[in-house]
Amino acid sequence: METHYLNRRPSEEAAAHHRWLGVGESLESDSREAGRAAARQALESRDPKLLLLFCSDAHDLDGLLAAINEESKGAPL
């Protein structure tokens, strides 16, 4: 049985497969720019497996989603 300590850092190999969470936000009024900025901030050049989105319905949702899909390379939303 392997013992894990809370203050132990994972190996580089384990860290490469580690789960992560990113959060992005934007105050842009242009929906495409808001989506693009929030996605870039949340993704930080990582390869997402799933995206969750919370946004105002005041945005052009088609434009917002299009920009997010471009930034995330089509990750499931």
The residues, ordered by sequence, that sit 6+ positions from 27 with a Cβ below 8 Å of its Cβ are 34
pLDDT digits (tens, 9 = 90+) for 2-24: 554 455 555 666 655 677 889 99
43 in a domain, yes or no?
yes
d(CA 16, CA 52): 22
- 47 pLDDT tier (thresholds 50, 70, 90): confident
Residue 2 belongs to a domain = no
Whether residue 4 is contained in a domain is answered as no
Q: List C-alpha distances in Å: 42 to 6, 10, 58, 66.
A: 26, 23, 21, 16
Residue 41 sits in which domain range? 12-72
d(CA 36, CA 42): 10
Structural domain contains residue 3: no
Q: What is the pTM of this model?
A: 0.72
